[in-house]
Structure 1
Amino acid sequence: MHHNKQIAIILSDTLQSTGLQSMLIDYFPPVEISHYPTFEALSTSGNDTFDYYFTNSTLFVLNADFFLPRRSKTMVLIDGTEGEGGLSTTNHITIKAPKEIIIEQLEQLFAGDSSCYPGENNKDLSIRETDVLQLIVKGSTNKEIADKLNISLNTVLTHRKNITTKLGIKTVSGLTFYAIMNGIISGDEIEL
């Protein structure tokens, strides 16, 4: 199967787009790349024949209905300094990483080594931990979670500790991204 990879880059940052395009052309030929500065530009193009999509976490979350069904062929560019530890469960490029690491991350995407399939990582979380995670990403405090689930505050804290240990994610933004990527919660349910 030696056809050109059809790639859509949806990034408003021209420098990131150009750098990514250059790396893809240099290290992963043959490729045909279309650049869209906004998600709306991609939508209005009417072109949905892409093999791969590259975007940032903000656009991914805002357009989760589009990207979630395509998550195995979507690459999310992350800063890497934001403490988003759990993003290893998604296809991502750490933009501040050395070139060798970025190339490795791209190779994993193109080889189909995505570890992000619906429910695969949820098996580590109990049903109650999943309930707690949903409430955390919706912005509930520990006390509110305890009240809503009829459990003690100490139990909530224990569940939170278990969630962060199992997933390796310590920030609420990282947990939110994990929950959206794994279908635990939809982007519409999150208060901004």
Structure 2
Amino acid sequence: MQGRPKVAIIDPNTLATLGLKQLLQNVLPILTIDTYGSMAELEANHPDEYFHYFVAMNIVLENRAFFTARRMKTIVLTLSLDGGSQLGEFHSICINVPEQELVRSLLMLEQHAHPHGKNLPPMPKVLQQKVLSDREIEVMSLIVQGFINKEIADRLNIGLATVITHRKNIMEKLGMKSVSALTIYAVMHGYVDINKI
């Protein structure tokens, strides 16, 4: 398979699909992500070219034979953690949770399936470069672990204004607007252990 790995999201809920697409592109910027509102749309677009399918539960239930044959590539999007019992043979992610929790689930899934980038093409050079200073990396690590500015200042023995400046610089350098995006970046680049977020 040449080029970027492809992932398909199959879910009739357009808003949920767009949100998941954004999160996945933050978690794995090397992915090409296609979205489909129905199984018919997926089947019309070379479905076996995809590395993974993120699929609404009702679509998996209606097309069980297709997804069972591709069980290792299928991730079922569920609305509750206990509803997955009927689909126990599949990996699943509960999407009805706060953003931080969903980001953590996606990162756990990625690290379980592809530890140290196994089975994935290398990141583009621009994404491998070290962008942040050592101090900015320390600050970022504490931000994504949930520490507030005052706690970060105390831990690093620096002023509150300095923490705020570092925080602003980190977001600008990385082009990020949320702590969730920052969390994804920190975990994917090995700056923070996923178990500490």
TM-score, scaled to structure 1? 0.52
Q: 1:144 to 1:69 in 2, by over 3 A?
A: same
- Residue identity matched to 2:133: S
- Paired amino acid for 1:66: H
| Aligned-partner Cα distance in 2 for 1:180–1:116 | 18
Q: Conserved in 1, the CA contact under 8 Å of 2:103 and 2:180?
A: no
Cα contact 2:104–2:194 (8 A) shared by 1: no
Q: What is the TM-score normalised by the length of structure 2?
A: 0.51
Alignment gaps of 5+ in structure 1:
44-55, 75-111
Mark the runs of 5 or more structure 2 residues left unpaired by the alignment: 18-33, 51-66, 78-83, 92-101
SS of residue paired to 2:184:
helix
- Do the aligned partners of residues 116 and 23 (structure 1) sit closer, same or farther apart at CA in structure 2, a change above 3 Å counting? farther
Distance in 2 (CA, whole Å) between partners of 1:8 and 1:169 is: 23
Return closer, same or farther for 1:188/1:149 CA change in 2, 3 Å cut-off. same
Q: How many residues align?
A: 135
Cα 1:70/1:168, change in 2 over 3 Å? same
Deviation at 1:162, TM superposition (A): 0.9
Cα distance in 2 between the residues matched to 1:189 and 1:169: 21
Q: What SS does the corresponding residue of 1:37 show, helix, strand or coil?
A: strand
Identity value in percent? 34
1:135 is displaced (CA, Å) by 0.3
2:128 to 113, 116, 120: 120
CA deviation profile, 1:99-121 (whole Å, cap 9, x unmatched)? xxxxxxxxxxxxx584389x814
- Give the corresponding residue for 1:148: 155
Specify the alignment match of 1:134 in structure 2: 141
**Secondary structure, counterpart of 1:159 in structure 2:** helix
Q: Report the Cα offset of residue 67 of structure 1.
A: 4.2
Secondary structure, counterpart of 2:36 in structure 1: helix
In 1, Cα distance between equivalents of 2:172 and 2:148? 19
Letter paired with 2:124: S
Partner of 1:19: 36
